[in-house]
Amino acid sequence: MERLTPKEIVAYLDQYVIGQDDAKRTIAVALRNRYRRMQLPAEMQNDVIPKNILMIGSTGVGKTEIARRLAKMMSAPFIKVEASKYTEVGFVGRDVESMIRDLASAALKLVRKIENEKNAEKIETYVENKIIEKLLPPLPAAAAEQKKAEYDASFARMQARFAKGELDHLKIKVEMPLSSIDFEGSGLPPQMINVQESISKVLGGINKKGKEKEVSVADAKRILAEEASSELLDEEQLKELAIEKVEKGGIIFIDEIDKIAVASGSQSRQDPSKEGVQRDLLPIVEGSGVHTKLGLINTDHILFIAAGAFHLTKPSDLIPELQGRFPLRVELQSLTKEVLYQILTQPKNSLIKQYQALMAVEGVELIFDEEALQSIAGFASLANEKTEDIGARRLHTVMEKILEEISFTADERHGESYRVTEQMVQEKLGKVIEDEDTTRYIL
Ligand SMILES: Nc1ncnc2c1ncn2[C@@H]1O[C@H](COP(=O)(O)OP(=O)(O)OP(=O)(O)O)[C@@H](O)[C@H]1O
Ligand SMILES: [Mg+2]
């Protein structure tokens, strides 16, 4: 991932998100800049701080979708948070630093996965040997040469059967892993999180070994793989790797940032906690140290991507200091009829493909006439114009309306095909769209 070029990143996103080229480009460049920075001499690296991104666009145009896809693609620690959750009423706000702790946890998981993949072969051998040893009667220590040879031969036979999965249904006894206790996200104050480890250690000390349990070989594979991994990997080293990953490559996507902006000149009593959250964000975005279960994490080079619809507020309603920390602004376009049509049909797992797959489960072939698809996009676009613009989400309501009958009866129509024609779309939606109020209710 680190080496992906901007073009490659955009090409990846193109598979899932239609249009929004500016946003894709800006993000791609920001990510590539992380890589460029890493190639610089150490003393210069420190001066190159990431330029955070603010994505502005009305609801349903793909802001969260871009983040979601980015997360899938990245082998960098990545989390998505909602800014508004830090202002929750009746709660003294969740502390904003917790986002760094969540990122740290994500990074630890990630490096563990990467290291496990590196050790995949060793882990497999460990698992295989353990399982076969349990299935074969043990060889006495003072066995004769001939016995040993026999043992080796049956071991080899078992290996072959193991590889084919022929042993999967057998039962064996394995030691269950000690369940580790995770206080992360439990709302405990940060000081307490370090206590977690101490408690786990103490508990681990009392019953050093997990309980033995009879499980199938198939399940044992998973359990023993975990055991192998914990024997092979050095926790301290993992933590160090994770810290490095977070500090140099971590990305935090802050969604709904507009919800913590305070509209200027608004008469209603403002929620003072919103500005508080913005102030709490400042040091983190600016760069500061945060205590996590990995240790102290410096946030200087973490990339922040904030996104918001900014319907009721404007980016300039954020406190000036925070505005200044998000110098890259990208606007997402609202979706035209043409784009809606593409969203309906083009992405991997587009809405049409989803409905077709769902109907296929019932043995019903769902067919859409080309004109019908055009017409669906047209109605969605019209409904967005006439009422609120809810972007691509409108397609969902329109599709539900069109398919409501077949959705209800599909289970009784096994083997049939169901063709959606332009005329059907017109019949179902033509009336609805004529009246604004009905549109509001139905679409
Ligand atoms: N440009 C697009 N290309 C493909 N799919 C899209 C696009 N825009 C939106 N969608 C689809 O519409 C739905 C809503 O999009 P998304 O969650 O990204 O909205 P958003 O911009 O984050 O809106 P909000 O401000 O309400 O959070 C998703 O199912 C997404 O797949
Ligand atoms: Mg969103």
Confidence of residue 188 (pLDDT cuts 50, 70, 90): low
Q: Tell me the per-residue pLDDT of 302-353, one tens digit each, with 9 for 90 and over.
A: 999 999 999 888 999 999 999 999 999 999 999 999 999 999 999 989 999 9
* Cβ–ligand 1 contact at 63 (below 6 Å): yes
Whole-number Å distance, alpha carbon 53 to ligand 1 midpoint, is 18
Q: Is 393 in the pocket of ligand 1 (CB under 6 A)?
A: yes
Ligand 1 proximity of 309 Cβ (cutoff 6 Å): yes
Residue 112: closest CA among 238, 247, 245: 238
Residue 77, ligand 1, Cβ within 6 A: no
- Which of the listed residues 61, 388, 397 should we mutate to test ligand 1's pocket, taking the one with most ligand atoms within 8 A of CB? 61
Name the segment(s) of the chain with CATH classification 3.40.50.300.
6-110+245-331
CA of 68 to the centre of ligand 2 (A): 10
In the DSSP assignment, the letter for residue 138 is P
For the stretch 253-310, pLDDT in tens is 999 999 999 887 665 555 668 888 899 999 999 899 999 999 999 999 999 999 999 9
Whether the predicted pLDDT of 42 surpasses 60: yes
pLDDT in tens, 199-229: 666 655 555 556 788 888 888 998 999 889 9
Rounded Cα distance between 184 and 200, Å, is: 13
CATH of 6-110+245-331, one of 1.10.3720.10, 3.40.50.300, 3.40.50.12780, 2.120.10.30: 3.40.50.300
Q: Which residues surround ligand 2, an ion (CB under 5 A)?
A: 63-64
Q: What is the mean pLDDT of the chain?
A: 87
Dist. CA 59 → ligand 1 center (Å): 7
User: How high is the pLDDT of residue 200?
Assistant: 61
% of residues, the chain, pLDDT over 90: 54
pLDDT value of position 56? 95
Beta bridge partners of 53: 305, 328
C-beta separation of 422 from 372 below 8 A: yes
3-class state of residue 243 by DSSP: helix
Identify the residue whose C-alpha is closest to ligand 1 atom 19.
60
* CATH no. of 337-430: 1.10.8.60
34: nearest Cα among 9, 67, 66, 69: 9
Task: Give the pLDDT confidence score for residue 430 in this predicted structure.
Answer: 85
Q: What local confidence, expressed as pLDDT, does residue 20 receive?
A: 95
Residue 54 is classified by DSSP as: E
Amino acid at 86: Y
Beta strands in 62-105 (DSSP E): 78-82
| 180 CB neighbour count, 10 Å cutoff | 12
For 84: left if phi > 0, alpha if psi spans -120 to 50, otherwise beta; the answer is: alpha
Residue 333 has a pLDDT of: 92
For the CA of 17, the closest atom of ligand 1 is: 3
Pocket of ligand 1, candidates 58, 64, 82, 399: which has the most ligand atoms within 8 Å of its Cβ, to mutate? 64
In the chain, list all ranges with CATH 1.10.8.60: 337-430
Q: Is the CB of 299 under 6 A from ligand 1?
A: no
d(CA 179, CA 226) in angstroms, rounded, equals 12
Give the model confidence (pLDDT) of 51-110 as tens digits: 899 999 999 999 989 988 887 887 889 999 999 888 865 455 568 899 999 999 999 999
Query: Using a 6 Å cutoff on CB, does residue 27 contact ligand 1?
Result: no
Weakest mean pLDDT among 1-15, 103-117, 410-424? 1-15
Amino acid 136: pLDDT: 85
Structure tokens at 419: 């063709």
Q: Whose CA is nearest to atom 14 of ligand 1?
A: 60
pLDDT digits (tens, 9 = 90+) for 119-164: 999 999 999 998 998 888 877 777 788 888 888 888 889 889 888 8
Residue nearest to atom 25 of ligand 1 (CA): 59
Residue 179: the pLDDT is 57
Atom of ligand 1 nearest to the CA of 20: 1
* Residue 65 beta carbon below 6 angstroms from any ligand 1 atom: yes
The answer, yes or no, to whether any atom of ligand 1 lies below 6 A from the CB of 61, is: yes
Nearest 5°: the CA angle 80, 84, 89 is 140
82 close to 255: Cβ distance less than 8 angstroms: yes
Instruction: Compute the distance from residue 64 Cα to the ligand 1 centre, in Å.
Output: 6
- Whether 395 and 344 have beta carbons less than 8 Å apart is answered as yes
Digit-coded pLDDT (tens) for 354-383: 999 999 999 999 999 999 999 999 999 999
